Structure 1
Amino acid sequence: MDLLYFLRLARKNWLLLVLSLILSVGVALVVTANTPPKYAATITMLFSSHDKKGAFSPAYQVSSLAQGAQSYANLLTSRRTLSQVTKPEDVERLRDSITAEIVPGTVILRAMVTDSDPARAAALANALGTRFARMIEQIERPTPTSRPTVKVTIVDAAEVPKAPVSPVPLLNVLVGMLIGLVVAVSSLILRDRLDTTVKTSAALQEASGSSTLGIIGYERDARRHPLIVRRKGHSSRAEAFRSLRTNLQFIGVDRKPRSLVVTSCLPNEGKSSTSSNLAIALAQAGWRVLLVDGDLRRPRLPDYLGIEGGVGLTDVLIGRVRLESVVQSWGDPSLFVLPSGQIPPNPSELLGSDGMRQLLADLVADYDIVIIDAPPLLPVTDAATLSALCDGTILVARYGRTRHEHVVRGIELLASVSARVVGTVLNFVPAKASRYDGYGYGYGYGPAAQAEVKTPVGV
């Protein structure tokens, strides 16, 4: 993790960070308002010793007394001292409210007593100083009739404090903001580290070991209008599929795929809409395209394209109908569709049969490219079976839903049948993610953006 990582994380989640700061300030103000004020009264005492002439001299002249001054400070909070100031049951509470310290390099003792009542704090501090001075005189007498060797003098008596020492609103707010910011940033980092969903083309490329051919942006009305033919193809998704079409032309100069399987790791990741729109984009460029609905479990192409799907691939494979009678022309004259037909009880066996292999060979001979919409990889083996028969496979991943481990497992399944993964597509990428991660799927609409020269796939 570097500074750039934190900056990107903060930029993506700036609203959450602002809300966390506002919440932490609010909590700090509530806590401050409900915290009883505390007042501190301070008393200052000086230790002095007996000189050779019998008079008291300043204690700082006596080095041995200075070295033992801390022991006297400890005696200030002893039970013997405190029991002379308060009731026995309140000794512990009073001890917790007393802070005693020796001024460094001197024998001056400062004692601070905090209490919710300013007058009581001052009274307790003065009473403590008086009782402590008397106790030291008693302890430091060699004999009951001799003079004390150490004397405690009250230098500054405690006064009634005018302002509380706690709570401090500004300090509480600053501490609250710091805690809120630390908690928010830590949560974001933890969530980001635990989140294994694919959110960048680099992450998808790392998981799949293959190049990312296309970044398909999210559009709000894509669910109701999944095809790119709306608005005459002037949309970000249409431009993204044209970019995907262009990238396909650079795949395998010596071995261009004539048959492509489009699949995903799990359902609802956009593989059917991707295969449909890719076929439309290729047909718009002059390719003779056949779109095959190879999902014999949950066919979606009839709903997307608005065609009849009751008779199709399964009927051709079992010899019930001829291929020419079920292939439908759609939209552009060069786009043809082969529906799935009736849902069979044995889709995997049917798709892996010799009949399917021969059918693919015939289709590749008649069309520039055959695109097969296959079921998801992980739930069933249909897509892997089809991938083993075709020239290449495109794996579709959904932004923020497809996990890294799902992609790895899907690639392993394809590798187990010696399938060729020509690339991946990252689908449903939100606009803000494209800004932050530099996807930039392009917005060059118009005739110039659509003017591409067809490159025959057989070349």
Structure 2
Amino acid sequence: MLILALALTGLLGGGVFAVLTKPTYTADTQLFVAIQNSGTVQELQQGNTFSQARVQSYVKIVDSPAVLQPVIDSLGLALSAEELAGRVTATTELNTVLINITVADPSAVQASAIAEATAKSLIKTVESLEEPKNNGPSPISLSIIKPAVAPSEPSAPNTRQNLIVGLVFGLALGIAGAVARSVLDTRIRSESELRLVTDAPLLGAIHFDQETSKKPLLTQTSLQSPRAESFRQLRTNLQFANVSGHAKTVLVTSSLPGEGKSTTATNLAIAMAQAGQSVCLIDADLRRPMVGEYLGLDMTAGLTTLLVGAADVNDVLQAWGEDNLYVLTSGMIPPNPSELLGSDEMKILVSKLEDVFDAVVIDAPPLLPVTDAAVLSQHVGGVVVVVDAQRSRNHDLEKSLNALSMVGSNILGIVMNRLPQKGPDAYAYSAYGAYTSDTTKSSPDIKNRRTGRKSEQEVSEDGIHGLGRPATTLPARSAHRFPSGPWDPTNEEQ
């Protein structure tokens, strides 16, 4: 695209230059230099050599004031000798006695008149310079053999030549720019570029969708869309990456803000819950929490409320959707996020949640701006790093992975986000994209289930987030309920 754009720009520039350039007409005349004396063949050869040597000097004096000032006076030109010299060009070919005089001027008639007058002035000047001291005839004779004629067409601008030059220049500039962009651009836009930084497994590739900013949740898109399939594939690959089963808690983070870690963590939890697992999603980004906002949940009480011992875990966990998905929002933003996330209370909380749920997904802050994610990664079974194919750069990802390695984190793999669905950087999955079906319009019940919302009748019966049970309590199953009473993170019996 860059090469094509610059090539077309160069072509357009050449055309604009040709249109804006004033026409210039060129007239030329030719003079022959001869020796006046005749004699033997040897004398003629010597005279010819002498003429050729003198011709070079005559060419040099064509643009001198001695030649051009008489031209200005005879034609009444409003030019100085120096200005007229810029329009007059004199040349000669090697081993000849011919002098070519070329004049360029906006007027065709004036160009021919100046060329003719310059030739005549040169003849007079040479005769004067070569005149013997005894007032005899000049040994050198100049004569006009090609009179100047007013040209019928301008010699400049050459539209075709300008277009070709503009196209070639733009094409060369585009190629240079493309090469420079390829060399200087360190963004990770494909799996091959990811392999230049790390050998960590590529767990998933999330396709870019224009509607993602408006509809970030997996339940807000078609079940068979490429984006939905990407998260199901991520869920499956994560199971294989965690084949030993030690990483029940997965921490999702990124190198920098805005790479899509929160939406990835949220949709991963939804995909796991849709597969029949009981999942707890924790918003541990205590600086810019987004999970509660995406899911439309109360964020006034949550993780920070538990860590300071101000609430019971059953009071802050919120059920979401028709599946076994429970969300622990961030709660109030504390002044010391790193200390809270690295505390023993956080470690014990994660351990207790692992005993209750099949999987725990934690949305953590980015790695490079703050140390929260690196500190929290020591309390979880594995870490998944989200890489934005439009923004992430090699050195940023390398620093992030080094930060995790320094604290001994278990890096499960990489998730590439915002990959294009078409083009050279598109990921492999798109084979079943044509088989999508808009089932969200089939019935209100299915639509409400996919968006995580209830019908008006269900809301009136069970409350805003009831879904058949109180919004802030766990399901009435012994395997999924904490002991009653205030939450004490230091109480191992609880």
Superposed, 1:23-422 pairs within 5 Å as 23-53=9-39, 62-87=48-73, 90-208=80-198, 210-231=200-221, 233-251=223-241, 253-254=243-244, 256-422=246-412
Alpha-carbon shift at residue 141 of structure 1 (Å): 3.5
Asked whether the equivalents of residues 49 and 59 of structure 1 are also in contact (C-alpha less than 8 Å), the reply is: no
SS in 2 for 1:344: coil
Q: Are 1:444 and 2:432 matched, yes or no? A: yes
Match of 2:480 in 1: none
**Residues 77/156 of structure 1: CA separation in 2 closer, same or farther (3 Å cut):** same
Amino acid across the alignment from 1:327: L
SS in 2 for 1:406: helix
The whole-number CA distance in structure 2 between the counterparts of 1:125 and 1:96 is 13
SS in 2 for 1:437: coil
Match of 2:456 in 1: none
**Residues 370/113 of structure 1: CA separation in 2 closer, same or farther (3 Å cut):** same
SS in 2 for 1:86: helix
CA RMSD of superposed structures (Å): 3.0
The CA deviation string for residues 382-424 of structure 1, in whole angstroms up to 9 with x for no partner, is 1111112212211112232233333233223223322222222
SS in 1 for 2:241: coil
Amino acid across the alignment from 2:65: R
Alpha-carbon shift at residue 131 of structure 1 (Å): 1.9
The whole-number CA distance in structure 2 between the counterparts of 1:86 and 1:253 is 96
Amino acid across the alignment from 2:19: A
**Residues 30/232 of structure 1: CA separation in 2 closer, same or farther (3 Å cut):** closer
Alpha-carbon shift at residue 253 of structure 1 (Å): 4.5
Asked whether the equivalents of residues 264 and 375 of structure 1 are also in contact (C-alpha less than 8 Å), the reply is: yes
Give unmatched runs, 5+ long, in structure 2: 437-494
Amino acid across the alignment from 1:63: T
The whole-number CA distance in structure 2 between the counterparts of 1:145 and 1:340 is 112
Q: Percent identity?
A: 35
The whole-number CA distance in structure 2 between the counterparts of 1:237 and 1:60 is 91
**Residues 189/276 of structure 1: CA separation in 2 closer, same or farther (3 Å cut):** same
Q: Which moved more, 1:231-240 or 1:312-321?
A: 312-321
Asked whether the equivalents of residues 200 and 412 of structure 2 are also in contact (C-alpha less than 8 Å), the reply is: yes
Q: Which moved more, 1:346-355 or 1:290-299?
A: 290-299
Alpha-carbon shift at residue 43 of structure 1 (Å): 0.9
Amino acid across the alignment from 1:286: G
Amino acid across the alignment from 2:425: D
The CA deviation string for residues 55-90 of structure 1, in whole angstroms up to 9 with x for no partner, is 9x9889723432443222112222222222225961
**Residues 106/256 of structure 1: CA separation in 2 closer, same or farther (3 Å cut):** farther
SS in 2 for 1:308: coil
Amino acid across the alignment from 2:33: F
SS in 2 for 1:310: coil
Asked whether the equivalents of residues 276 and 323 of structure 2 are also in contact (C-alpha less than 8 Å), the reply is: no
Aligned length, in residue pairs: 431
Match of 1:452 in 2: none
Alpha-carbon shift at residue 245 of structure 1 (Å): 1.7
The whole-number CA distance in structure 2 between the counterparts of 1:302 and 1:51 is 109
The whole-number CA distance in structure 2 between the counterparts of 1:258 and 1:29 is 66
The whole-number CA distance in structure 2 between the counterparts of 1:179 and 1:429 is 33
The whole-number CA distance in structure 1 between the counterparts of 2:324 and 2:206 is 24
The whole-number CA distance in structure 2 between the counterparts of 1:347 and 1:91 is 82
The CA deviation string for residues 280-315 of structure 1, in whole angstroms up to 9 with x for no partner, is 222223333222221223322222223334333223
Alpha-carbon shift at residue 347 of structure 1 (Å): 1.9
The whole-number CA distance in structure 2 between the counterparts of 1:231 and 1:412 is 36
The whole-number CA distance in structure 1 between the counterparts of 2:425 and 2:329 is 38
**Residues 443/330 of structure 1: CA separation in 2 closer, same or farther (3 Å cut):** farther
SS in 2 for 1:110: strand
Give unmatched runs, 5+ long, in structure 1: 1-9, 448-459
Asked whether the equivalents of residues 215 and 221 of structure 2 are also in contact (C-alpha less than 8 Å), the reply is: no
The whole-number CA distance in structure 1 between the counterparts of 2:170 and 2:311 is 68
Alpha-carbon shift at residue 442 of structure 1 (Å): 3.0
The whole-number CA distance in structure 2 between the counterparts of 1:231 and 1:145 is 106
Asked whether the equivalents of residues 302 and 309 of structure 1 are also in contact (C-alpha less than 8 Å), the reply is: yes
Q: Which moved more, 1:305-314 or 1:122-131?
A: 305-314
The CA deviation string for residues 339-379 of structure 1, in whole angstroms up to 9 with x for no partner, is 33333332211111112112222223333332111112223
